[in-house]
Structure 1
């Protein structure tokens, strides 16, 4: 099978194609013939910043071809989507069955990788903030796959003012179409605040201005992989809260909630209240180009690899 490998000479140009043996599903796993692979920011960052070879992770959607010991929820022929933590950039991938979900009839694999994982993170971050009717919500990285869905969830959830924060003005029309009332740039001085709730998928150096944009009693939900440091004093003077959100904790600790959110994402998509945004479908062999799109912050929605 075709598989992409990372060579240790730095950057997305170090992604090379190779022939490899088809993997085998272990206990609690399913082997999937991939039809679409979602490129994630954490994986792109690992390639750029890591000192050693990176095993590519990402969302995978496709058809189950084999199941491992103990798997009863899926059988060969089922269409599923889920997270692959190693060697996701391949024609066949192994998924943890507990973190996989069925793809309904009528939905494409590309829709599945654009909706499910990103939608679960967006929904979880929004729920963690406990947004009350009429409150103001700022979404950073609003043109990303997660951000684009978070905007729609906030707009449909009763927020009084939904603001999108993006890296460049050419993304403004895109985020406004998804429900943003206003658009601010990372470079803006005051970010148009204060905000009752901020959903942050960027982190890093952006955390300082993000915290300073919080209203008194505001809540910041950090769900990205960018790290960063928050000054406790900045939270103290605002009486504000910092909440960390991780989807894996919900998937393994609250499987009932995880399954319900999955169903509701597809229901919202079917009702037309939640739209997926796919920036580009890129051939698997051109994975380096997909990484470059994300590194350069050019994507509007999800970047998807197609075997």
Structure 2
């Protein structure tokens, strides 16, 4: 089978021919039909000290199962987060991370919706939103952000503000239901919001925190790091909440499953509509990464093995 990898940190992605993996205990072997490209994986390729497997969201058909698997069998369509080699024709997926794909949804729908939707919904849950509040979503045109905008509106936000890296994305974010769109570094953060869902981190944390009303909440789910001054929290009695879906999947599987069902329900009802920016062949993985690095995507970037 074909698999994408690289040899040095920041190195070029290339295809190699390797044997089809065997599913271990508790694992599914999936013939990949779609693979989601995420910013954390792109960052690890360019920044991590060690070479890592290119994992991420996958969707496709189960062709074999390992010992102990109970919920799935050959022929089932699944999606989930692969922690090993996911940029490949076949990949292994742990049963606990797998979710069935409904008959009326495609593999591309699944990778654009499920993992990104779970991150967006989980971050929103962490913010404890109340109906009638104002929300600010950073990276609002991204694979997660464009779903967070829709979910905030669905959860009763009276005002949704999307923050983006370039003004050219404003029309897209407004089409998702945002009332306002602001550009990083260009002002427009003056009207306060009740909560912020932040996928950017870094230098953006300071203006995002300043945009909160007294008692407001900032949910940080970015891999971009950043520093917050304690006084900025104390002065306005504000909160910063860290969120990570993998932790919920490991420690609160019942909650994780409930969120999965909620995301699919909202999709079936047309409340949440995932948008795919572009689809790339497996051999064009480097081009897909370049789109993410340049922050050029409107919605999800997908590989099609």
Q: Same-fold call, TM > 0.5?
A: yes
Alignment of 1:63-212 (within 5 A): 63-212=61-210
Q: 1:289 aligns to what?
A: 287
- SS of structure 1 residue aligned to 2:215: strand
Q: How far 1:259 moved relative to its partner?
A: 1.4
Residues 193 and 215, structure 1, Cα contact 8 Å, conserved in 2:
no
Cα distance, 1:281 vs structure 2: 0.6
Q: Given the alignment of the two structures, is residue 6 of structure 1 paired with residue 6 of structure 2, yes or no?
A: yes
> Could you tell me how far apart the structure 2 residues matched to 1:273 and 1:192 are?
30
3-state secondary structure, aligned to 1:82:
strand
SS of 2:227's partner is coil
**Once structures 1 and 2 are overlaid, which stretch shifts more, 144-153 or 190-199?**
190-199
Deviation, structure 1 residue 52: 3.0
2:9–2:48 CA contact under 8 A, matched in 1: no
Q: 1:81 to 1:9 in 2, by over 3 A?
A: closer
Q: In structure 1, what is the Cα distance between the partners aligned to 2:168 and 2:213?
A: 28
Q: Relative to structure 2, which stretch is displaced further, 225-234 or 165-174?
A: 225-234
Superposition deviation, residue 193 in structure 1: 3.2
1:260 to 258, 261, 271: 258
Q: Which moved more, 1:274-283 or 1:127-136?
A: 127-136
Which digits, 9 at most, give the CA deviation of each residue in 1:14-54, with x for residues without a partner? Answer: 10111011111111111100000000110000111123323
CA distance in 1, matches of 2:132, 2:14: 50
Distance 1:298 1:76 in 2: 38
Q: Give the CA deviation at 1:7.
A: 2.1
Greater Cα shift, 161-170 or 208-217: 208-217
User: CA shift at 1:227, angstroms?
Assistant: 1.2
Query: What is residue 38 of structure 1 aligned with on the other side?
Result: 36
Q: Deviations over 1:210-251 (max 9, x none)?
A: 112111000000011111111111111110000011111221
How many Å separate the matches in 1 of 2:64 and 2:201?
39
* 3-state SS of paired residue (1:33): strand
The separation in 1 between residues aligned to 2:70 and 2:102, in whole angstroms, is 18
Comparing 206-215 and 83-92, the one that deviates more: 206-215
- State how far apart, in whole Å, the 2-side matches of 1:101 and 1:27 are: 18
Q: 2:17 matched to which residue of 1?
A: 19
Superposed CA deviations along residues 72-111 of structure 1, whole A, max 9, x for unmatched, are: 0100110000011121110000111101100010110000
- Please tell me whether the aligned partners of residues 221 and 245 of structure 1 are also in contact (alpha carbons under 8 angstroms): yes
Gaps of 5+ in 2: none
- Which position in structure 2 is the counterpart of 1:302? 300
1:306 CA drift (Å): 0.3
Unmatched 5+ residue regions in structure 1? Answer: none
- Residue 190 of structure 1: CA displacement? 4.8
> Which of the numbers 207, 213, 217 marks the counterpart of 1:219?
217
Deviation >6 Å, runs of 4+: none
* Corresponding residue SS for 1:46: helix
**Displacement, 1:205?**
1.8
Question: SS at the partner of 2:247?
Answer: helix
